[in-house]
Structure 1
Amino acid sequence: MLFTISALLVAFVVSISTIKILLPLAPQIGLVDLPNARKKHDGAIPLIGGISIYTGVLIASTLFIDQSKLLNLYFISSALLVFIGTMDDIYDLKVAPRMIFQGIVATIMVFGAGIYIHDFGNLFATGPVELGNFGMIFTMLACVAAINAFNMIDGIDGLAGSMSIVTISSVAILTVLNDNSADILLPLILVVAIIPYLFYNVSTRNPRGKKIFMGDAGSMFMGLTVIWLLALSTQTTELSEAAFRPVTALWIIAIPLMDMFAIMIRRIRKGDSPFKADNGHLHHICMRLGLSSRQSLWAISALAISFALVGILGEIFMVAEWILLSLYLVAFITYSYAIQHAWKFIRALK
C-alpha cells in the first residue's frame, strides 16, 4: 500500500510541478490558445496540460513500475504524440502530418509491442469472432480512431480529462474485479496525474486564477493511452489473460467513440471533410440548450459514467455479449439520430 501511495504522490507532485514550471514559459514559445470565432475564452491560455500529465506518468512509472519492452514502447509512442501535438498547438498543423504520426504510433503499438485486437469475443452467440492477422489492421485503425475521438471531444473545460478518467478508472475497476490487482498501478498513476490539470482547468479554487488547457498533445496522449489499455485488457495472450470482454470496452469509451462517429457521419452526409471542425458536438448542443460549460461537463460526465456502469455491471453479471452489443448499437443509433437532428429539437424547445 505504501508503495502505491508513493507512486501516486510522485505522479501528482511531478504533474503539478511541471504546470508551475511551464506556466510562465508557454506564452514565450507560443504554446497558448488564442480566442477566435469558435473558441470563446478570455485571453491566451497555456496549452500545457498534456505535457504535465505525460511527465507525471513517465516519471512515476519509471520509478515504480518494472521496466519492460511493452512499457518502454508505450512511452516512446506517447512521446511522439505529445511532440506532434505540441507542434500542432504551436503551429496549427494540417491534418496530414498529424495522421502520419498517428499512423507511426499505431504501427509501433501493433508491430513493435505486438498489441492487437484479434478476438472480438462471442458477439453473436455462435462462438468467438476471431480476426486473425486482419486484427493488426483493425487495431491500427482503432488506434487512430481513439486518438482522434479524444482529440475531438476536447471542446469544453475538463471534458477530455473527465472522459479519460471515466475510461481509465473503469479499466482499473474491471482489472481488480478480475483479481488482477498487480496491473492497476499504471491506470491509477494516469488518473492521479490528470488531477492537477483538472484543478488548473476547471476548479474555481485555483488560488492564483491561472487556467490551462490540455491541448492536442494531451488529448491525443489520452486517446493512445485508452486504446493501449483496452487492447491489453480485452485480449488473452501468452503472457496474460484478458481482464474483461471486448464488448465491455465499447461501453467504457462510449461517449468519445459515439460522438466522433456521429459527427463524422453528419459531416460526410453534408459533403464536408470528416475532419472539418464545427459546432455540432454533444457539448455544443448542451450549451445551445442553455446549459453552462460547467453544467454541460457534469451532464456529459454523468452520461459517460452511466454507459461505463452498464459495461461494468454487464461484466459482473456476465450478461451475454450479443445482448450488450445490441444495447450498444441501439444507444449509438439513438445518439447519432439525436446529434443529426439536434437543431430541430433545440428550435422546438425554444
Structure 2
Amino acid sequence: MFDYFWVPAFTFLVSALAVLLLRPLATMGGLLDRPDARKRHEGVIPLVGGIAITIAVLVGCQLFLRTQGYYIALLGGVAVLAVVGLVDDLYGMNPVTKLGAQLFAAILMTSWGNVYLESLGDLFGRREIELANWGIPMTLFAVVAVINAMNMCDGLDGLAGGLALIIFGWLAYLAGEIGNAPAQRVCIVFCGAVAGFLIFNLRNPFRGRMKVFLGDAGSLMLGFAIVWFSVELSQKRYNPNAAVVPPVVMLWILGVVLIDLLVVVIRRAVKRRNPLAADRTHLHHVLLRLGIGQDIIVLLILAVNALLGLIGVMGWKNGISEQILFLMFLGVTATHLLIMRNAWRFIRIGRRILARASKVGNS
C-alpha cells in the first residue's frame, strides 16, 4: 500500500515543486520555447518539465529503492539524456550528436545495466525467436526508436506526458503481475513524477499562467526509461523463476507511440524523405486539421493508448497466443497506415460530419 500511494505522492510533490522553482530560472536563462512556423502555441513557455521529472525520479529512487543495483545504469542514462536534452533546448544540437547521445545511453543500458533483448517471443506460432548475437544491436535500435517516438509525440499540451503516464502505469501493473517489485517501484516513481509535471502542462483550473513544456530533456529520458522496462519485464533472464510478460504485449502497451512512429517513418520512406525530420504529418496534426480542439484530441489519443494497453494485457491474461496478438497489432498498424495515406479524404469527410453536427446542435 505504501508503494501505491506515498511513493507517487512524494515524487508528484517533488516534481511540482521543481517546476515552480525552475520556471523563473528558465526565464532568466533563456530556456524557453518560442512559437514559429511549426510551433503554434501562444507566448514563450519555459522548457523545464523534463528537468523537474528527472529531479523527482532521481530523488525518489534514492529514497525508495533499498539498493539501486543495475538501475544505476537506468538513472545514469536518464541523467545523460536529460542533460543532452537541456543543451538542445538551450542552444540547439546537431542531430548526429543527439543520436550519438542516445546510442551512448543505450550502451549504458546494455553494457552497464546488462539489460538487452534476448528473445522476441513466439510471434509466428512456430517457436520462440531468440536473438543471440543480434540481441544488443536490436536493443540499441529499439532504444533510439522509442526515444524518437516519444520526442515526436511531444506536439500538444499533455500528449507526451499523458502517454508516458499511461505507459508507466501499465508497466507498473505488469511488474506487479510477474513479481518484479523493484521495477514496479521505479515505474511508480515515474508515474508520480510525470503527474507532477502534467498539472502544469495539461489544461486545468489550477494551472493558470504557470504553463510549462516537457522539452527534449523530458521526451528523451522518458523514452529511454520506457524502453528499459519494456525490455526488462519481457525477458526471462531478469525473472528466471517466475513468469515474464510476452514481448508482443509491450507493443500494445506503447500503442499509439509505436504505431504513429511506424506509420510516419513508412510514409516518409516511400516519399524518400528523412524519416526523423520534423514535420506536421503525425496523428495529432491530422486531427487538428479536422478542426477538433486540442484538449479533445489529447484526451482521445490518451484513451486510445490506454485501450490498446488493455487489449494487450487482457489478451495475455486470457491466454491469447502471441501470434494472434502480433497479427492483431499489425492489423491495427496497417489500418492506421491506410487512413493516414488517405488523410486528406478523411479530413474532408470529417469536416463535413463535424459541420453537419454543428448545424444540428445549433438548430
- TM-score class, shorter-chain normalisation, is over 0.9
Greater displacement, 54-63 / 65-74: 65-74
Structure 1 position 68, deviation (Å): 2.9
Q: Per the alignment, in what secondary structure is the counterpart of residue 25 of structure 1?
A: helix
Secondary structure in 2 aligned to 1:67?
Answer: coil
The amino acid across from 2:36 in the alignment is: N
Letter of the aligned partner of 1:260 in structure 2?
L
Q: CA deviation at 1:271?
A: 2.4
The equivalent residue for 1:247 is 248
Match of 1:112 in 2: 112
CA contact (8 A) 2:19 2:48 kept: yes
Partner of 2:216: 216
- Return the offset for 1:40: 1.1
Matches within 5 A, 1:176-255: 176-181=176-181, 183-206=183-206, 208-237=208-237, 240=240, 241=242, 243-255=244-256
Amino acid at match of 1:286: L
Cα distance change on mapping 1:245 and 1:39 into 2, 3 Å = same
Is the 8 Å Cα contact of residues 232 and 242 (structure 1) preserved in structure 2?
no
Residue 306 of structure 2 corresponds to: 305
> 1:96-152 deviations in whole A, cap 9, x for unaligned?
111010011111111121111111112222221111121110001001101000000
- Distance in 2 separating the partners of 1:48 and 1:308: 29
Indicate the SS of the match to 1:273.
Answer: coil
Q: Which residue of 2 aligns with 1:146?
A: 146
Identity over aligned pairs, percent: 33
Shift of residue 8, structure 1, vs aligned partner: 2.6
CA distance, structure 2, for counterparts of residue 228 and residue 99 of structure 1: 17
Gaps of 5+ in 1: none
Would the alpha carbon gap of residues 204 and 186 (structure 1) be closer, same or farther in structure 2, given more than 3 Å must change? Answer: same
1 CA distance for matches of 2:208 and 2:296?
Answer: 23
Change (3 A) 1:242 1:159: farther
- Structure 2: gaps (5+ residues): 352-363
User: Normalising by structure 1, what TM-score?
Assistant: 0.96
User: Residues 325-340 of structure 1 correspond to what in structure 2 (within 5 A)?
Assistant: 325-340=326-341
1:286 deviates by 1.0
Secondary structure of 1:200's partner?
coil
Aligned counterpart, 1:293: 294
**Matched residue of 2:108: which SS?**
helix
SS of match in other structure, 1:69:
coil
Of stretches 257-266 and 155-164 in structure 1, the one that deviates more from structure 2 is: 257-266
Do the aligned partners of residues 217 and 259 (structure 1) sit closer, same or farther apart at CA in structure 2, a change above 3 Å counting? same
Map of 1:1-350 to 2, 5 A cutoff?
1-2=1-2, 5-181=5-181, 183-206=183-206, 208-237=208-237, 240=240, 241=242, 243-350=244-351
Inter-CA distance 239–204: structure 2 relative to 1 (3 Å threshold): closer
Helix, strand or coil at the partner of 1:201:
coil
- The answer on whether the counterparts of 2:73 and 2:113 sit within 8 Å (CA) in structure 1 is yes
Q: CA RMSD in A?
A: 1.6
Do 2:50 and 2:217's aligned partners in 1 also have CA atoms closer than 8 Å? yes
The one-letter code matched in structure 2 to 1:186 is V
| Amino acid in the other structure paired with 1:114 | N
Q: Distance in 2 between matches of 1:214 and 1:238?
A: 31
- 1:64 CA displacement: 1.1
**Equivalent pair of 1:233/1:242 in contact (CA under 8 Å):** no
